[in-house]
Amino acid sequence: MKNKAKTLLQHGWKSLRNIGNDFKTLLNFSISHESVRKALKTDDGLYWLNEELELSGYYGYDAQWVRNEGKWI
């Protein structure tokens, strides 16, 4: 898939979404634009790691529900 995506980009600029649409049309499978982006960044590796990102160690939650004395709070 990575080689085919690189080949599609050699013919001119394409958006990642359009490359995903090409895979759907030509090879009959769906892939997200984010998967295409990560595949192009891996350079023959199995995964991509953002080494520039420094995590704070804190985690945020959208909503957290806890049952306390029979009530959800």
* Predicted confidence (pLDDT) per residue in 7-36, tens digit: 777 777 788 888 888 888 888 888 888 888
Print the domain residue range for 6: 1-48
26 within a domain of the structure (yes/no): yes
Provide the number of structural domains found in the chain: 1
In a domain, 29, yes or no: yes
Is residue 30 domain-resident? Answer: yes
- Evaluate whether residue 54 is within a structural domain: no
Residue 68 lies in a domain: no
pLDDT at residue 68 greater than cutoff 80 = yes
The pLDDT of residue 48 is: 63
Q: Is residue 64 part of a domain?
A: no
Q: Which range has the worst mean pLDDT, 44-48, 49-53, 62-66?
A: 44-48
* Strand 71-72 with 67-68, pairing: antiparallel
Strand, helix or coil for residue 29? coil
Mean pLDDT of all residues in the chain?
A: 79
